[in-house]
Structure 1
Amino acid sequence: MHTDRRPWDVLLIGGASGVGKSRAAEHLAAASGAFTVEFDDVVAALQAATTPTTHPGLHHFTTTPAQRLGTERVLELQIATAHALDEALLGVVRNRLSVDVPAIVEGDYLSPRAAVRAAAEAAAHGRRLRAVFLHEGEAARISANYARREPDSGAQNERAAVSARYSHWLAAQARADRLPVVDCRPYDTLPQRLTAACSYA
């Protein structure tokens, strides 16, 4: 059902690890009554149901842990994994568009190019899909977020460095595809800025 207060049927919230997607999705879900899908759960299910032999694009980090790879290589494989999951994201979106309950899909592996395809499919069926990408480009900020979220994991500076690079890549791709990019800071105005970005025509 279309309402003036919620100009979308499905909302995609993309962004790198540690930038605050889950919290943002929780806020918007509470305000809109939307169902939330954590795309990371879908990714984990797909990886559990496949093997590196049958679906190598989903298992880039299975045989060689990220800790043993350089930052550039991890970033390259992270982007490749996101693109390998494009069809899975479209499957989730199609399923959510088959019902009238609004949905928010959030996750690290939502690619801008898949979001563009999903929006076009939704429009072709008279439904409304919006996509927004959260951005935090400073590794130190992301590392601090990890420390608050995962206090028992110790310093995660290398992981944060990759996440910051991935965030820059996602933001650049999203802007090239004319999708809104919202800086995570200042945090106290993020809910309002995110809501405004989701209302684009």
Structure 2
Amino acid sequence: MTATSWDILLIGGASGVGKSRAAAQLAGEPGESKGFVVEFDDVVSAVEAMTSAEHHPALHHFDGIPDTERLGVDRVLDLQIATARALEPAVLGVVRNRLTVDVPAVIEGDYLTPAAAAEAIREGRAAGRRVRAVFLHEGDPDRITANYASREPDSGDQRHRAEVSAAYSHWLAGQAARHGLPVVECRPWDGLAGRVERALGQDGPVMSDPGHTLGP
């Protein structure tokens, strides 16, 4: 059906680590489409738009916080992790829909948790489909700050955001290892897609996580 080793590929990672570029490369080179990219950030925006803090507080931790730089990095990280966990059912909803379509897809986003990815792999296996997952890692806030400056030159200094992103990247990497999912260092940027493909051929069995139940 496809020249890839997957039918659905989940690419998780913190903001500013190169997920979108890697997803585009893995979905297909120019003139050779292997699939298409689903940006989970779009799903997050839709979910937030149709819910409220009153009825779905777990999805609106950042409402009423116009400037997250006023909060410490650890506090923002805690809120980000809580939001990601609350969005796990949405991740699985997207995957379940893709399981009904005989076209490969790459799903990428900041809020893909290893727990959700591991469950998606199990559901894919039960459906006879190849669902795979990989997490990109960049733990250096200086590098992420530089990435933001290059990508968003008019946004000013984003050091605090980069520090949160680096901390979140470390958390994701630790959780991915706990679930037996591959973690790939983002640098060097050249060859990242190839390293991801190799990692997908080497990852071990998906492990269970008795300490975490998927989000509400």
TM-score using structure 1 length = 0.96
Q: Distance in 2 between matches of 1:152 and 1:78?
A: 24
Partner amino acid for 1:56?
P
Q: Distance in 1 between matches of 2:16 and 2:110?
A: 9
Cα distance change, pair 102–200 in 1 and its aligned pair in 2 (3 A): farther
- What whole-Å deviation, never above 9, does each CA across 1:16-52 have from its counterpart, x for those lacking one? 0000000000111124521110000000000000000
Q: Could you say what secondary structure the match of 1:54 adopts?
A: coil
More helix by percentage: 1
Tell me whether 115-124 or 186-195 shows the greater mean CA deviation. Answer: 186-195
Structure 2 contact 37–106 (Cα < 8 Å) conserved:
yes
CA displacement at 1:200 relative to structure 2? 4.1
CA displacement at 1:64 relative to structure 2? 2.0
Tell me whether 31-40 or 94-103 shows the greater mean CA deviation. Answer: 31-40
Which residue among 127, 130, 133 is the counterpart of 2:129?
A: 127
Seq. identity, %: 64
TM-score using structure 2 length = 0.89
Q: Distance in 2 between matches of 1:182 and 1:139?
A: 17
1:141 aligns with 2:143: yes
Which residue in the other structure is 1:27 paired with? 25
Which residue in the other structure is 1:75 paired with? 77
- What whole-Å deviation, never above 9, does each CA across 1:150-170 have from its counterpart, x for those lacking one? 000011000000000000000
Equivalenced residues, count: 199
Question: What is the aligned-residue RMSD (CA, Å)?
Answer: 1.1
Unaligned runs of 5+ in 2: 204-216
Unaligned runs of 5+ in 1: none
Tell me whether 81-90 or 58-67 shows the greater mean CA deviation. Answer: 58-67
Q: Distance in 2 between matches of 1:39 and 1:82?
A: 11
**1:1-201 matched pairs, under 5 angstroms:** 1=1, 3=2, 5-31=3-29, 33-65=34-66, 66-200=68-202
Partner amino acid for 2:46?
A
Q: Distance in 2 between matches of 1:182 and 1:174?
A: 11
- What whole-Å deviation, never above 9, does each CA across 1:58-100 have from its counterpart, x for those lacking one? 1100122322211110000000000000000000000011001
Q: Distance in 2 between matches of 1:117 and 1:11?
A: 13
Which 4+ runs in 1 deviate beyond 4 A? none
